A and B are shown apart, each in its own frame.
Chain A
Amino acid sequence: MSRRQFVLGLALATVLGLAPASAQEKSIVVSSTTSTTDSGLFNHILPLFKQKTGIDVKVVSQGTGQALDTGRRGDSDVVLVHARAQEEKFVADGFGVKRYPVMYNDFVLIGPKSDPAGINGTKDIAAALKAIAAKDAPFISRGDKSGTHSAELRLWKAAGIDIAKEKGDWYKEIGQGMGAALNTASASNGYVLSDRATWINFKNRGELQIAVEGDDRLFNQYGVMLVNSEKHKHVKKAEGQAFIDWLISAEGQKAIADYKINGQQLFFPNATARGA
């Protein structure tokens, strides 16, 4: 092999390396939350959508704050998240076209079997959080501006606790996703707020179990929005809207309702509910 061949070979390898990875097909990028991916929902519904429309949906799963930011930058075509106030701001600021409610599930407060705050089996989430703060029981917070983090902050407020001021060593903000927060809680026997879907699908439970559930304030609504093509011209408007239309159609709603783990339904479609 001559020197020239050596160099040419390297150059060729590079060109091959940069060849298109896949043939062009209809596809959209959806930025969504870790809960929808970690729970396995997308794996269940996306093949059905693709079969019907031929559109490939590529999901980037992030916390709600980051997922909205991905849409704001124009790096996704559709955003599916769960923090209504932030979603409405996203639309009001002109980054999203319109917000459609899709489905809901609920949050659950997870805690160790030893239950240092003495709240296992109770229903009042505000009272439970007060007890945790009063006993300085270990609490793991997402701390990542996700939908679950926003919900947690709202619940502390409902409990009359200014968590920014009153947090001590017992309150740990880990700045990571739902799974990582559950792993941390499992390793340190702490309390943690989780969406039910991620919890049901979570395997490394250790001593953890559901401590508090069923409070109306633990309701968790998901919304979907098309990124505004007036802000970002390249947004795949038709395909993105087709995905949204399918999600809120009777067929899409049924696909969501049909997703179950161990016989338990994880998400409850409510696209037609008023005010959701």
Chain B
Amino acid sequence: MSEGASALELIFSGDSDLYSIVGLSLYVSLSAVALAAVVGFPLGAFLALVNFPGRSFVVVVLNAFMGLPPVVVGLAVFLLLSRSGPLGFLGILFTPRAMIVAQALLVLPIIAALARQTIEDLWTEYRDELTAMRIGPAGRVATLLYDARFSLMTTLLAGFGRAAAEVGTVMIVGGNIDGFTRTMTTAIALETSKGDLPLAMGLGIVLISLVIAVNGIAWGVRRYGELRAG
């Protein structure tokens, strides 16, 4: 357990670099998931409730995009945000904001596709009731999103897992700048390239523990909510 030991030393020695890296990882991935949810939940609900020509095609593409290669998303966002690209005037390449945008794009299909499935299933159950109550489309979306909130939390966690684990977009778009855009995953890649495999593995264990902790908290919140909601 020399790998785990060196990581534990880092944690308990109060290594401020490690804490800032962990903090940035959480900040970027949680923000990306929140951003993706704001767009993805309504989009998923829309696809679940509204029939339009080409809907099946959109659903298939959305499902397929759940497996978007991070490195491709990273490259696309890089080209957009580069000073020589169309959004270069923003000047946010190599900043945490760019990383959030890139991860949000990566996670959006996962959240939208899973939300669509959840809401569509719930819709078959609620259809008659909501139709009888003459609730309009916006009200239907809001009701379904609210009643599906516990299942949708799992959707958010799937998105978070994806964001926290990926290295492709944050490396390209963030640049792995020490103390500014270095995340857990890019730090692991860097230590691996320095040949410090025990430290890299230790950081990997820290990252996995972190993801487990976030999931544990979410599970607790959900249980508490379910108990209160009866």
For A, the interface residue count at a CB cutoff of 8 angstroms equals 41
In the complex, what's the smallest C-beta–C-beta distance from B53 to chain A, in angstroms? 29
Of the listed stretches B54-62, B117-125, B176-184, B207-215, chain A binds B176-184
Inter-subunit contact B175/A232 (CB<8 Å):
no
Give the residue name and chain of the B residue nearest to A179 (CB): B193
Question: A177 vs B195: C-alpha distance in the bound complex, in angstroms?
Answer: 12
In the assembly, what is the distance between CA of A253 and CA of B205, in Å? Answer: 40
Cβ of A75 < 8 Å from any Cβ of B?
A: yes
The answer, yes or no, to whether B63 is at the interface (CB within 8 Å) is no
- Please tell me if the beta carbons of A3 and B142 are within 8 angstroms of each other in the complex: yes
Contacts of B32 in A (CB 8 A): 17
B146 at the interface (CB under 8 A from A): yes
Does B83 lie within 8 Å of A75, measured CB to CB? Answer: yes
Q: Judge whether A3 and B146 touch: CB under 8 Å.
A: yes
In the complex, whether A60 has a CB less than 8 A from a CB of chain B is yes
Q: How far is the CA of A204 from the CA of B27 in the complex (A)?
A: 32
Task: Scan residues 66-100 of chain B and give those whose CB is less than 8 A from a CB of chain A.
Answer: 82-84, 88, 91, 93-97, 100
* A17–B35 CB distance below 8 A: yes
B34 sits at the interface (CB 8 A) = yes
The 7 A-B residue pairs with the shortest CB-CB distance in the complex, in nearest-first order: A17-B31, A179-B193, A74-B83, A204-B195, A60-B175, A13-B34, A203-B195
Query: Does B94 contact A60, Cβ atoms closer than 8 Å?
Result: yes
| Contact assessment for A38 and B143 in the assembled complex, using a CB-CB cutoff below 8 Å | no
Bound together, the chains give a CA A183 to CA B193 distance in angstroms of: 7
Give 19 new A-B contacts, CB below 8 A, not counting A14-B38, A61-B176. Answer: A3-B146, A4-B142, A10-B34, A14-B34, A17-B35, A17-B100, A18-B35, A18-B97, A38-B190, A60-B177, A73-B84, A74-B88, A177-B193, A179-B195, A183-B193, A203-B197, A204-B197, A205-B195, A234-B83
Q: Is the interface of B mostly helix, strand, loop or mixed?
A: helix
A201 on the interface (CB 8 Å rule)?
Answer: yes
| CB pair A202 B195 closer than 8 Å | yes
Specify which chain B residues have a CB less than 8 angstroms from the CB of A60 in the assembled complex: 94, 175-177
Chain B residues, CB < 8 A from A42: 178
A-B contacts, 29 listed (Cβ < 8 Å): A6-B146, A10-B38, A13-B31, A14-B31, A14-B34, A17-B30, A17-B34, A17-B35, A17-B100, A18-B97, A21-B27, A21-B95, A22-B180, A29-B177, A37-B178, A58-B94, A58-B175, A60-B175, A73-B82, A74-B84, A74-B88, A75-B84, A176-B193, A178-B193, A183-B192, A183-B195, A204-B196, A232-B83, A234-B83
A186 interfacial by beta-carbon distance below 8 Å:
yes
A37 to B176 alpha-carbon distance, docked (Å): 11
A11 within 8 A of B: yes
A38 touches which one: B30, B175, B194 (CB < 8 A)?
Answer: B194
B145 CB within 8 Å of chain A: yes
CB of B222 closer than 8 Å to a CB of A? no
In-complex Cβ contact of B37 among A10, A186, A205 (8 A) = A10
The smallest beta-carbon distance between A208 and chain B, in angstroms, is 10
From A206, which residue of chain B is reached at the shortest CB distance? Answer: B195
Residues in chain B near residue A242, CB distance under 8 A: none
Chain B residues with CB below 8 A from A205, complex form: 195
With the chains together, A232 CA to B197 CA distance in Å?
Answer: 40
In the complex, A3 Cα to B30 Cα: how many Å? 21
Q: Is there an interface contact between B195 and A21, defined as CB atoms closer than 8 Å?
A: no
Q: With A17-B31, A61-B176, A203-B197 in contact, is A75–B94 under 8 Å at CB?
A: yes
A61 and B177 CA atoms in complex are apart in Å by 8
**Closest residue to B146 on the A side, CB-wise?**
A3
A47 to B80, CA, bound (A): 32
Specify the chain A residue showing the minimal Cβ separation from B78.
Answer: A75
Alpha-carbon distance A10/B149, docked complex (angstroms): 12
Question: How many angstroms between the C-alpha atoms of A21 and B181 in the bound complex?
Answer: 10
A182 on the B face (CB < 8 A): yes
Give the CA-CA distance A182 to B30 in the complex, in Å.
35
- A17-B100, A21-B96, A58-B180 given as contacts; is B192 within 8 A of A179 (CB)? yes
Complex alpha-carbon distance, A18 and B88, angstroms: 18
Residue-wise, chain A 1-35 has the 8 Å CB interface mask toward B (1 for contact) of 00110110011011011100110000001000010
